[in-house]
Chain A
Amino acid sequence: MLETFNFRVIVEYLPFYWKCFLATLWLSGGSLLGALVVGVIACAMRLSESRIISRVAGVYIESIRSTPLLAQLYFFYFGLPSLGIRMPEEATGILALTLNSGAYMAEIIRAGVQSIAYGQIEAAMSSGLSYLQRMRYIVLPQALGVSIPPMLGQAIVLVKDSALLSLISIVELTRAGQILTSDRFMPAEGFLTTAVFYLIIYYILKAFSHWSQKRLIFRGA
């Protein structure tokens, strides 16, 4: 197999791969931003004092965590049109990825917030800080510091999960491999090139995650 590995085809398809690489980047980047927003909101709801609000967020988080992303993706892809909502595949894909990652983000942020000793919040209260000030100056800076490494882990998962978008005919890296395979009958060249592009993203994020673990976590008293 490898002695006939055709690098010329890969070079020929490289501009196409580059375009798909960028597509993967913006699809997962967009979903990551969305997931952060959804995660913060879901986490705030989960920690809310109102039972109902907390329960709603709980149902959302648990049902996302207990079902595969692919089933969720198909749920939106086939489900939204049957409700009369039509949108481009990319929007459906980003929506599914955002809601999926948002649930995991919510759990990560919750773990971060709950890692803060309650004494700190009491101290902030007795210093006369308002709720927003407590959040802004005491809770969030520490909670985010703790959350950033697992969030980067989730970002890695998100980039890999975006491969599933190829199954609803969005053109991104995995789809590029499929296209090369069906154009030229060269699955080895097609999918191994795809894998290399994913590995580039993986190693960059992993290095960043190592760096952040050294720099951003401070374990105070």
Chain B
Amino acid sequence: MWGFYFEQLVQSIPFFLKGLWMTVAVSGLSLVAGTVLGFVWGVIRAGRGKVLKRIIGAWVDLIRGTPFLVQVFIFFFILPEAGIQLEAFPASVIALTNLSACFICEIVAGGIQSIPSGQREAATASGLSSYHQLRYIILPQAMRTILPPLVGQYVLLIKDSSVVSAIGVTDVTRVGWLTVQRIPEGIMVFGLVGILYFLICYPLIQLSNSLEKRMTVVTTKL
């Protein structure tokens, strides 16, 4: 029986690759949008505007304090009541973008705050506008602190994208769930799902680790 199911599973590999493509699409889109949004929020959060800072801080807390699954349900089921009808795919991308933006915001704000204030003062004294200060002085240095956890955050994002299978997006996890109804060998089916995720996430984890080592060396040398 095992051999038969194995053959069946091998035959459905194209289906799994389709799911993998969906996982990559959902997490790739959210990754780009979440990074941009996260950087903007992070810069604001590390800045001086009190009100905006508070609002973003409160929002980040709300998102960090609730499970992603609940957020997905809220975006998918509640927005339609407010008249915004969303398909499962855009709803998942929006929820995942928002989630990653919140975490990236904290990473970016922490990175900016780690730069000694003398740097900003010197830049102001040299007559740089606040945009130029950020662009040429603050962010390049802050990137050292930001980059390793940022890559780590991307790994979390890819893993969290599995949750959107709950609202019917056919990503790898959903494909596994559908396949296991047909091939009742959970170990084999979800072993394959696990391997596919592993192939994406493991190199990224290694990258994050090596960045962490390299960046720390640079900082201690300074």
Contact = CB atoms under 8 A, between A and B. Distances in A.
Contacts, number: 139
Contact of A71 (B73, B155, B173): B173
Contacts of B165: 70
Q: How large is the interface on B (under 10, 10 to 19, 20 to 34, 35 or more residues)?
A: 35 or more
Main secondary structure, interface of A, reads helix
A67 B201 contact: yes
Given A74-B190, A78-B186, A192-B74, A68 B81 contact: no
Q: How large is the interface on A (under 10, 10 to 19, 20 to 34, 35 or more residues)?
A: 35 or more
Contact of A62 (B162, B172, B202): B202
Interface stretch (A9-17, A47-55, A141-149, A158-166): A158-166
Nearest to B180: A78
A174 B190 contact: no
A58 B77 CA distance: 41
Given A163-B69, A188-B78, A75 B198 contact: no
Interface in B149-203: 155, 158-163, 165-166, 172-173, 176-177, 180, 184-187, 189-191, 193-194, 197-198, 201-202
Given A78-B186, A177-B73, A71 B193 contact: yes
Nearest to B201: A66
A163 B187 contact: no
Nearest to B74: A191
15 contacts: A1-B82, A66-B198, A67-B197, A68-B162, A70-B163, A71-B172, A71-B176, A72-B194, A75-B190, A75-B191, A163-B69, A174-B70, A187-B78, A188-B78, A191-B74
Contact of B186 (A70, A74, A163): A74
Contacts of A195: 62, 66, 70, 74
B89 interface: no
